Amino acid sequence: MKRNEFRTVRGYELLNQNKKQLTSAMEDYLEMIYRNIGQEGYMRINTLSELLNVKPSSATRMVQKLKELGLIRYEKYGIIFLSEEGKEYGKFLLERHNVVERFLKSLGIKENLLTETELVEHNISKNTVERINKLNRILEAHPEIISEFENFNSSTDG
Ligand code: CA
């Protein structure tokens, strides 16, 4: 690697940046909104703030930002819908979450699976997500690879 190929984390973020420039927090909100709309058809500000353990005022502020980016429609009564673009983005975020979670599960991560997934998911490119997804499919089709990995892992432990 050439010297000038190194970047700060922020540099990588800028490199991977979608045209929408979502922060990790915005992605968390959008993913949660997409999740809930998939189940209930809509999302309420109050439900959103409860699910993400934030104050309703913080949720309102973030929702306003997402609205400005054209990702959600938020009119009144605290009910949120997604725009077409928001749906597309939310779908990607939920899939990315699931891909990372499935992969970490294959690695045998049980404790803090959700936290680990949350930490990893925001910082990988679309290309990496796609490759992990392919690897997941191979691993799921060939459980013997996982068994071999588990055996190797326990034989080299400690
Ligand atoms: Ca997530």
pLDDT of residue 7: 63
pLDDT of residue 77: 79
d(CA 102, CA 109) in angstroms, rounded, equals: 10
pLDDT score recorded for residue 10 = 57
What confidence score (pLDDT) does residue 115 get? 94
Q: What is the DSSP letter of 5?
A: G
125: helix, coil or strand?
A: coil
The pLDDT of residue 118: 94
User: What is the secondary structure of 79-104 as a DSSP string?
Assistant: EEEE-HHHHHHHHHHHHHHHHHHHHH
Domains of the chain as residue ranges with CATH: 20-88 (1.10.10.10), 93-156 (1.10.60.10)
The residue among 33, 74, 79, 75 whose CA lies nearest residue 52 is 33
Nearest 10 degrees: Cα torsion 98, 102, 104, 110: 100
**Span from the CA of 94 to the centroid of ligand 1 (angstroms):** 7
Please tell me the distance between residue 155's alpha carbon and the centre of ligand 1 in angstroms.
32
pTM value is 0.83
Cβ < 5 A residues, ion ligand 1: 31, 97
Q: What is the pLDDT along the chain (158 residues), one digit of tens a residue?
A: 556 666 666 555 554 554 557 999 999 999 999 999 999 989 999 999 999 999 999 999 999 999 999 999 987 778 999 999 999 999 999 999 999 999 999 999 999 999 999 999 998 999 999 999 999 999 999 999 999 999 999 998 76
Q: Determine the Cα–Cα distance for residues 99 and 129; give it in Å rounded to an integer.
A: 7
**What distance in angstroms lies between residue 4's CA and the mean position of ligand 1's atoms?**
32
Q: Is the Cβ–Cβ distance between 82 and 114 less than 8 Å?
A: no
Say how far residue 101 (Cα) sits from the centre of its chain.
10
**Tokens (6 digits) for 4:** 């000038």
